Amino acid sequence: MDAMAIGREAVMLCDRIWRNARLATLRSDRSGLGEVPDGIVACRDTRIVYAGATVDAPAGLDAADRIDCAGRWITPGLIDCHTHLIYAGDRSHEFELRMQGASYAEIASAGGGILSTMRATRAASEEALVESALPRLDALIAEGATTVEVKSGYGLDLDSERKQLRAARALALRRPITIAATFLGAHAVPPEAGTADYYIERVCTEMIPAVADEQLAEAVDAFCEGIAFSPEQTARVFAAAQAHGLKLRLHADQLSNTHGAALAARFGALSADHLEYTDLAGVLAMAAAGVVAVLLPGAFYFLRETQRPPVELFRLRRVPIALATDCNPGTSPLTSLLLTMNMGAILLGLTIDECIAGVTREAARALGRLADAGTLEAGKFCDLAIWDIERPADLVYRMGSNPLYARVWRGQ
């Protein structure tokens, strides 16, 4: 081999390199946040080709575009793995009623709650749904979000659910963001359905097959709760979803213990979410099945819940913990993953590292997207958040200020 060929082989050219940075890689083969005090991230064709210590970088790694991060911290782009971002209407009046003493359940049974959002969502065009969701999405993006899950569940008939899912996916055409769409037809019983059983039948035999056929969602979720659907009805939804190759998520044990966590585990769901009332048996089942616990401190706060999810048991049994906004008009009008992390620490007792992992690596795991996102590792999408902070704890500590310096989605 001649010298030139050797020289050429030694050069590993990529599109862009972020250098002189401190990294929180979140790699699970490293302890804590997988911190690298003097690191670089290199990107080619939307994917990371190297993320790690500058001294360990492959010889000859170079790029035309080399960005000096001046010692700033880089984390994986943030991931909001549980939102109801697409909806129409306004529920601030219900908030006023709640502040005057009405309960969430009372408002719901008086025709408010999910059904009031359903009426507004049915009446809205797909474009209007996209437009009204963009400010909420932009708030998440402004804090470094690069992947956002979006659920349907305010249409509650096939055409309106389709419209909601199309609007969710259209968000990705309007902003540089990865959208993961989830079908939540089993969110509430629409008035025209009569009984819950009849509606669940429609969900299983008409809606799920159509959603799967048209590839409108990658996962199916359900609201398993005393005020919503029973474990038995939820099991029917899960069986239909599995028959159509869709992933499973579950709103479980939020307001009471209906053994939703164990049900999610029995079906091999990716995640069970909320989990305030989950008991030891539920935690053990989740641990055995590898179900991610998605904790939603925004809803816990907004509903003034007092029963905390069993965080110590999750830790002890090594159940992965993710955190998300649950952004929705009724119980968590929250569009900040930074504040979500702060609430995770203060209200739920999570550590700093658990909070940061909860909106990156573990959120990716909850979406079944760990191969593509959630850590700074070669092969994953180059989704980065670059922060003006001294220590990672700054991300969890602050309330209401945003230290994001730059956000990178797929290398751009």
- Closer residue to Fe ion in complex, CB, 276/326: 326
- Closer residue to Fe ion in complex, CB, 257/375: 257
Q: Which of residues 199, 223, 229, 381 is near ligand DI6 by CB under 6 A?
A: 223
The sign of the CA dihedral 281, 287, 290, 292 is positive
Which of ligand DI6, Fe ion, none does residue 22 bind (CB under 5 to 8 Å by kind)?
none
- Does 187 contact ligand DI6 by CB under 6 A? yes
DSSP label at residue 332:
B
Query: How many residues comprise the chain?
Result: 412
- Closer residue to ligand DI6 in complex, CB, 25/116: 116
Shortest separation between residue 274's beta carbon and Fe ion, angstroms: 7
Shortest separation between residue 59's beta carbon and ligand DI6, angstroms: 52
- Does 260 contact ligand DI6 by CB under 6 A? no
Distance CA 373, CA 368 (A): 10
Residues that bind Fe ion (CB under 5 A): 326
Distance CA 257, CA 280 (A): 11
Distance CA 409, CA 208 (A): 31
Distance CA 219, CA 273 (A): 14
- Closer residue to Fe ion in complex, CB, 143/326: 326
- Does 155 contact ligand DI6 by CB under 6 A? no
Q: Give the three-class secondary structure for 44.
A: strand
Nearest alpha-carbon partner for 54 in 36, 30, 28: 36
- Closer residue to ligand DI6 in complex, CB, 117/336: 117
Distance CA 406, CA 412 (A): 10
- For ligand DI6 (CB under 6 A), the number of binding residues is 12
Q: Which of residues 117, 152, 160, 325 is near ligand DI6 by CB under 6 A?
A: 117
Asked if 81 contacts 271 with a C-beta cutoff of 8 angstroms, the reply is yes
- Does 300 contact ligand DI6 by CB under 6 A? no
Which of Fe ion, ligand DI6, none does residue 298 bind (CB under 5 to 8 Å by kind)?
none
Which of ligand DI6, Fe ion, none does residue 187 bind (CB under 5 to 8 Å by kind)?
ligand DI6
- Side chain identity, residue 382: C
